[in-house]
């Protein structure tokens, strides 16, 4: 038996999952959970593969002041509960830059190269790397594998990824990368079983969560994505604005007097659904509200998704179907309906009864819909575990 631990670290939480790998290259989920509220009110939660709770405990803030400390707590919990330490650890790393096109085993030199990419993802990369650095120091011989959100998007045609900027800036790495690649890679593989026609065809995958983007999937490959240089571009998100006239940033600096740190905080934390509604960045709260501001935020969100679906279709020369995934995509029928309503030009028609479902794989297209409409749950942790297991065995 091989035990694979998957860590997905953010600024204030670390999601984790443990898998058991066997001789037939299959992986079995053992448990998963998260340690949230890092640095404020740490809370460890975990459940087994059947969904039965294993732990729900508030921790002392002194014991979990940062992400590196959280990794120690998670590792100790896994080792104690499973009776053995993991044989390898797989990590979600948001940015792989132009060089990292596939998962890679991490050593000190690789970690330094990944840290150098932090300016390209300042609110993600440092936190992704913190548990890696902690483990390297404490257990230098434990295999660790970095799996990149950007890797799935390598291979785009140049016109998809280049901004109209001087070549010197492009050479410095200012270009479109695309993110959520681990989710898209999982969905692309899943479609071969649940909807092979979509796997072979021209499909837009809508990863809609607090962070949101679209991927143009053609023949199982990413050919375009709405996210670009950073995780700010593209769709309206929970607290991020999506596409924005660069002149707005100049206005904030020149007329409003905001410095770079203040602008960064505004764009990452106070815009999107939260900024539009003045209420919340949580789609569940907006759908439950009858306020005009909440309805406006939902309308802007749905309009931008529909608009970008059309852009992705243009990149593929047509559209055969749409797959909704991630938190909003999987669990918010109202948001799905608002989006599909705006896609009449593609002949999209929703089956209201089917769309009311919120769990599992769903076919939500009406019989007269000219394009397929599906809901397929994503599993980034499993994708990371598969990459880690494969690299470990090789």
> In this predicted model, what pLDDT tens digit does every residue of 19-33 receive, in sequence order?
998 777 789 999 999
147 and 182 Cβ atoms separated by less than 8 Å: yes
> By CB neighbour count within 10 A (0-12 exposed, 13-18 middle, 19+ buried), where does 82 fall?
middle
Give ∠ CA 331-336-341 in degrees, rounded to 5.
165
202 and 169 Cβ atoms separated by less than 8 Å: no
Catalytic, out of 149, 161, 320, 379: 149
Residue 220: alpha-carbon gap to chain centroid: 18
Q: Taking the chain, what is the end-to-end CA distance rounded to the nearest angstrom?
A: 16
Residue 343: alpha-carbon gap to chain centroid: 24
Residue-level pLDDT, tens digit, the chain, 394 residues: 689 999 998 878 899 999 998 777 789 999 999 999 888 899 999 999 999 999 999 998 888 888 888 888 888 888 888 887 889 999 999 999 999 999 999 999 999 999 999 988 888 899 999 999 999 999 999 999 999 999 999 999 999 999 999 999 999 999 999 999 999 999 999 999 999 999 999 999 999 999 999 999 999 999 999 999 999 999 999 999 999 999 999 999 999 999 999 999 999 999 999 999 999 999 999 999 999 999 999 999 999 999 999 999 999 999 999 999 999 999 999 999 999 999 999 999 999 999 998 889 999 999 999 999 999 999 999 999 999 999 988 8
| CA 198/CA 218 separation, integer angstroms | 9
Q: Does 270 participate in catalysis according to the annotation?
A: no
Q: Which helix (H) or strand (E) holds 387?
A: helix 380-393
Kindly report, residue by residue over 216-240, the tens digit of the pLDDT: 999 999 999 999 999 999 999 999 9
Closest CA to 58 of 37, 75, 79: 37
Give the up-direction half-sphere exposure of residue 383: CA atoms within 13 A in the CB hemisphere: 26
Residue 251 CA: distances (Å) to CA of 163, 234, 240, 327: 21, 20, 18, 34
| DSSP conformation letters of 11-59 | SS-EEEEEEEE-TTS-EEEEEEEEEE-TTSS-EEEEEETT--EEEEEE-
pTM exceeds 0.85: yes
């Amino acid at each position: 038996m091989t035990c694979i631990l998957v860590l997905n670290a953010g600024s204030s939480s670390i999601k984790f999952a443990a898998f058991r790998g066997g001789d037939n290259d299959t992986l079995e989920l053992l448990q998963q959970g998260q340690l949230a509220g890092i640095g404020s009110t740490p809370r460890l939660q975990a459940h087994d593969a059947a969904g039965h709770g294993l732990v729900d405990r508030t921790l002392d803030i002194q014991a979990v002041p940062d992400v590196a400390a959280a990794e120690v707590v998670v590792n100790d919990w896994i080792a104690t509960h499973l009776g053995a330490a993991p044989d390898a650890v797989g990590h979600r790393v948001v940015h792989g830059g132009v060089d990292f096109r596939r998962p890679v085993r991490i050593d000190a030199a690789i970690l330094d190269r990944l840290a150098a990419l932090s300016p390209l993802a300042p609110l993600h990369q440092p936190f992704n790397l913190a548990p890696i650095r902690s483990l390297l120091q404490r257990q230098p011989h434990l295999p660790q594998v970095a799996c990149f959100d950007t890797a799935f998007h390598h291979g785009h045609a140049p016109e998809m990824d280049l901004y109209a900027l001087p070549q010197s800036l492009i050479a410095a790495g200012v270009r479109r990368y695309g993110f959520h690649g681990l989710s898209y890679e999982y969905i692309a593989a899943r479609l071969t079983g649940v909807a092979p026609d979509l796997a072979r065809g021209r499909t837009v995958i809508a990863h809609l969560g607090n962070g949101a983007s679209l991927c143009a999937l053609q023949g199982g490959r990413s050919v375009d994505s709405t996210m670009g240089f950073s995780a700010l571009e593209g769709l309206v998100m929970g607290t991020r604005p999506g596409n924005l006239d660069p002149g707005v940033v100049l206005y904030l600096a020149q007329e409003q007097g905001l410095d770079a740190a203040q602008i960064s905080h505004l764009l990452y934390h106070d815009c999107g659904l939260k900024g539009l509604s003045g209420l919340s960045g949580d789609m569940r709260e907006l759908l439950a509200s009858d306020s005009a501001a909440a309805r406006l935020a939902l309308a802007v969100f749905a309009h931008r998704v529909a608009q970008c679906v059309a852009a992705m279709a243009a990149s593929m020369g047509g559209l055969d179907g749409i797959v909704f995934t991630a938190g909003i995509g999987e669990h918010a029928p109202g948001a799905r309906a608002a989006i599909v309503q705006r896609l009449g030009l593609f002949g999209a028609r929703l089956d209201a009864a089917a769309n009311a479902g919120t769990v599992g794989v769903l076919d939500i297209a009406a019989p007269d819909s000219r394009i397929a409409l599906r809901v397929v749950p994503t599993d980034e942790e499993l994708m990371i575990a598969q990459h880690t297991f494969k690299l470990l065995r090789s």
